[in-house]
Amino acid sequence: MALTLEQVRHVATLARLALTPEEEQRMATQLSAVLDAVEQLQSLDVGAVEPTSHATLADSLLREDVTRPSLSPEQVLANAPAKVGTSFAVPKIIE
């Protein structure tokens, strides 16, 4: 699908781009190539393809969500400049 220069200018305006005449010509060629590729993809029969949530079928690379022992309140507050009970004490900034 070949784009006209008017269409390229319209897209550039929507994208708030200022293109030189040479850039308009180059963008017309490149955008036309992208649209041709999309048109090719649209002609494929994907009715039997199961939808996926990820581009790859690899298993999740995230670690298991397992609970582990955490620091005690005393360890956490050991270097705190001020504390109240088991919490950090911060200066009041709103009156």
Tokens coding 45:
């029969």
Which pLDDT belongs to residue 67? 92
Exposed / middle / buried, residue 28 (Cβ in 10 Å: 0-12, 13-18, 19+):
buried
Hey, where are the domains in the chain?
5-42
Q: What is the pLDDT of residue 53?
A: 73
Positions of the chain with pLDDT under 70: 57-60
Q: What is the pLDDT of residue 50?
A: 82
Average pLDDT over the chain, rounded to an integer: 89
- Residue 63's pLDDT is 79
- Looking at 3.40.50.11540, 3.40.50.150, 3.40.50.300, 1.10.20.60, the CATH number of the domain 5-42 comes to 1.10.20.60
Percent of the chain at pLDDT > 90 equals: 62
